[in-house]
Structure 1
Amino acid sequence: MAIKQEIFQKTKRTCLYDKHLKLGAMMVEFGGFDMPLLYQSSILQEHKAVREHVGLFDVSHMGEVTVKGKDAERYVQHIFTNDIAGAPVGKIYYGMMCYENGGTVDDLLVYKMGENDFFLVINAANIDKDWAWMQEKAEGFDIDLQNRSDYYGQIAVQGPESEHTVEKVLGLECKELTFYTCKTVLVPHSTLHTPQEIIISRTGYTGEDGFEIYGSHEYINECWDKLIAAGVQACGLGCRDTLRFEVGLPLYGDELTQDITPIMAGLGMFVKLDKAEFIGKEALAKQKADGPAKKLVGIELFDKAIPRHGYTVLNMDGEPIGEVTTGYHTISSDKSVCMALVDAAYSKLDTEVQIQIRKKVFPGKVVKKQFYNKSYKK
């Protein structure tokens, strides 16, 4: 009992925790937080709601770090693989933070909020690690670096009806936002006489059009209540993973780790080697020039068996050549597919491979990592 209590006490809760219990969610530990896996519906129903209509996610477990000051842009350029030089206010960039050897610290979003003002969104499981690393790398820069993860709550409204839903239900104008742009909005505060500032961005992790909203815990709770009352489907981590997987989006800990570089993961387009410098540049430039020893690929099985994380990938001679990072029988395409990190020699499309699933071996072939076409609004 004492051990269970210790584990329970270490698990964090988002500002929407009570809302999940009220909706009958199945709760699981993820990234150090007690999060909804699914609600009283099913992963299938929640997945289809996002693909066909609109779904609502609690993503308040994500971390937020602000970087402001004279050297803010120079600092972000130093720790970030993408190039934000001269970025317009309101633009968002995806990229990675890397160790000197090219391994991935985390993948993240960088929001340009103003001149010398940046908003960084990092993964929940990495908040403490990232924050310590960012502080260490801030030496010598004239910046104000703050971890705001405890202040912000965050929801994601995702799906083809998301724009209409955000405008009609929440009263937030968002039509002018294009993919990977954001804005700040002053909204009324229910108890204070002064309005509060929120951030709304046209971003998401589902492959569908959608928005993410950052604000105080109180405001995010109000938004959640309005959306649920309007009939929007609450969606858990289960379909969040199936949705992101179908469109080939990586999950840190699976497709990106301290041992899996952005080049190995096929994310070289977000590594701007023509930048003057950034941490890990030399190692990543060498890896790109030489070619990585392993590459992340998609694999489609010819059978209905489901490949799972950690399962061994074999060549046709039965020799181990890699491991599955994520695998499902996809909801949208009705195929058994996975992403896997394999020896580069076996990464070419249509290469025949096998996957060891328990005591049996199932044949398949290398395919593109994107198993469903994205539907973003450009």
Structure 2
Amino acid sequence: MADLEILHFEQLKTEVQAQYLKSHTPSHDDISKWKGIDIIYFQEDLRKFAKGNISEKSFYTYFKNKPVTKVPRIDMLNLLSIYAGYASWYDFKKNHLFADEILKETEEQTEFNPEEADETERISIDTAIAEKPYIKEAIKSDIQISTPDNQNVSDKSIFLETYDTSEQKPLKKSLKNFILGITTGVAAIIAVIFLWQSKIFDTTYSYCFYDADRNAPIQNMLEIKVFKENESPLYYRIKPGECFHYTTKDESLRMLISSPLHENVEVNRSLENAPQEENIELKPDDYKMAVDYFSKKSILGNPEESSLLIKQKRRELENRISDQAVIYQVFDSDIYGIETLDKQKYISLVTTPTTSLKNLSVIEMKTDKGKIVSIKFKITEDDENP
């Protein structure tokens, strides 16, 4: 059955490819060789005609990985079937039956969920076992048990309700509570001493990062390199808008803060009397900021306005990016990790009016003699709508 599903999926991929080629001319006719802008155009077409989307990661997993060893989730199969002109994945298979193949009317299976024990009863049983050890054997064997009043009870919950658990002698109960109190107190003292000893040498410092011109939190990924004496540097990645928390016993801190759109900053701090919370301003690199802005600038609108905006974007990017620039697009896929683009391919990508550009984020950008010479970027996919 699984082999037939894979064969059907290969048929579906062929029809999806044929459907796309009716109105588009990608870099290759073979869908397994599409990459970069071809995939973005295909995603746009899928949104337009099937009202759904598959992620870039899913595309690389199921269209570029050969041979395919499993089929996608049913929602993705339905989406691709609709794009190919069928009502559903079931309808597609019904129109492509192999010899002697029989389809089930429904492919849904109801999973059996074993009944869980009532939490209140479980707690009551555990408490009773702790106070009356002989109950454990009775519950374990699930046989009738007898209370001290010779009352036979077969239901465990009824037994726990009818049995009087307050029969312990006052002296024994008081002794037990006294020992428990002493034990708890000793454990608490040991915990306090341990925490005190660990805190006396370790201190956590928090650093938050702000744009010097806008006085707003940095909204791009930061890289921090912490230098330690006689050791290799430590590297950290800080997500947009988040602060850097660093715990150390050292008396000084030296770190290099790198941002794709700001000037790098080296920070040196004596930690003997330093505040535990500090804001650090990063000066924006106007050249990098401009390239990032024009790369993501929306050009949607009426045809006349869009045409003018596209010309403006192309002119700005042509002026600011070196002809010899090395540009990388990073992918989430394990199969295809990085694609290299030249200057013109990058400009074509970011001047194509697609909804994917709103998810473009710069990972790294380098300048030399007033020109951008290196760009590393990523277009984040929405995995909730594969």
- Scaled by the length of structure 1, the TM-score of the pair is 0.21
- Scaled by the length of structure 2, the TM-score of the pair is 0.21
- Higher-helix-fraction structure: 2
Q: RCO higher in 1 or 2 (8 Å CA, sep ≥ 6)?
A: 1
Bigger CA radius of gyration = 2
- Higher-strand-fraction structure: 1
